[in-house]
Amino acid sequence: MSSHPQLRLQIGAASIPKLPAHLCEVIVIQRLPLGVFADPFELQNPHKHKAFRDIAVFGDTNLELPSFQSNRSAVEFHIDAGSNILFMQNNGTEFNLLLPLHARYQPLDESGYSVVEIGEPDMLMRCSVEGKQHKQSCLFMSPPNEKAKSTSATVAWKIPAGMKAHAGFVSVITFVTALLSTLSIVYASMFWSGTKVSKT
């Protein structure tokens, strides 16, 4: 699999409670393990994500750190319950969320790969209820037997990792190559720059 796949979250419409759509929003929270991150700036791309009320990334959003120096994160989608995207799929019984992910550099592994497991997302529904004095928000969580199901319960992602066995000779050959290049350039510069011993 590529280092930049898209995670598809399939959510059955049956798992969304029947509540007044105009007052409610669906919140999907996908927790990401170490070794994987979502780019918050990519998620704000209006072309791709205009259907969402809001998308946010929480936790470690440093895009450059390797896995062993980073922390977990979570992505939160907010979708209007009355939004067309909830019903716009092939058979009208489920909808898909596509979450672009990126692999961090993994800890070294003798096998040359590191396996990262991504679990199921959590789904909540938040509704605004007109109270006597002010609007109140109520949060509904899908019961476990109707939880948002992805295609498989846990997704296992095999990411390439460096191999410790390479460390010794890679370092030696790197420095030897740098040295040889240096000597070549020094020699060429001194030999072909027109330098000459001058007594002045």
Partner 1 sequence: MISLKPRSILLISAIFRVGLILVGEWQDTHMEVRYTDVDYLVFSDAASLMASGQSPYKRTTYRYSPLLAFLLIPNSFISRCWGKFLFSASDLFVGLFIRIILKQRKVPDDLCTYSMLIWLFNPFTFTIGTRGNCEPIVCAIILWIIICLINGNVVQAAFWYGLIVHFRIYPIIYALPIVIFLDPRFFRSGTKPLLSDWTSDPGKARQINSELIDKCAVCDVWKSTFTRSRILFGLISGTVFLLCTGFFFHLYGWEFLHEALLYHLTRTDARHNFSIYFYHIYLNYERELSVLEKLVSFLPQFIVQLVLILCFAKDLVFCFFVQTVAFVAFNKVITAQYFVWFFCVLPLILPWSNMKLKWKGLCCILLWMGAQTHWLLWGYLLEFKGKNVFLQLWMASLLFLAANTFILIVLIRHHNYGPVFRQHTDLKTTKTT
Residues near partner 1 (CB under 8 A) are: 1-4, 41, 47, 61-64, 66, 68-69, 105, 107-108, 112-113, 158-164, 166-167, 170-171, 173-175, 177-179, 181-182, 184-186, 188-190, 192-198, 200
Rounded CA separation 69/149 (Å): 31
Shortest distance in whole angstroms from residue 83 CB to partner 1: 22
Please tell me whether residue 65 adopts helix, strand or coil conformation: coil
- Residue 59's contacts (CB-CB under 8 Å, 6 or more residues apart) are 32, 71, 72, 73, 74
Between 88 and 179, whose beta carbon lies closer to partner 1? 179
The torsion defined by the Cα of 101, 107, 113 and 117, in degrees rounded to 10, comes to -50
Between 18 and 47, whose beta carbon lies closer to partner 1? 47
Shortest distance in whole angstroms from residue 147 CB to partner 1: 29
Burial of 36: CB neighbours in 10 Å, binned 0-12, 13-18, 19+? buried
Shortest distance in whole angstroms from residue 189 CB to partner 1: 4
Rounded CA separation 198/160 (Å): 57
What does the chain come to in residues?
200
CA dihedral for 141, 143, 148, 154, sign (positive or negative): positive
Between 30 and 114, whose beta carbon lies closer to partner 1? 114
Between 3 and 137, whose beta carbon lies closer to partner 1? 3
Shortest distance in whole angstroms from residue 144 CB to partner 1: 33
Shortest distance in whole angstroms from residue 131 CB to partner 1: 36
Between 114 and 127, whose beta carbon lies closer to partner 1? 114
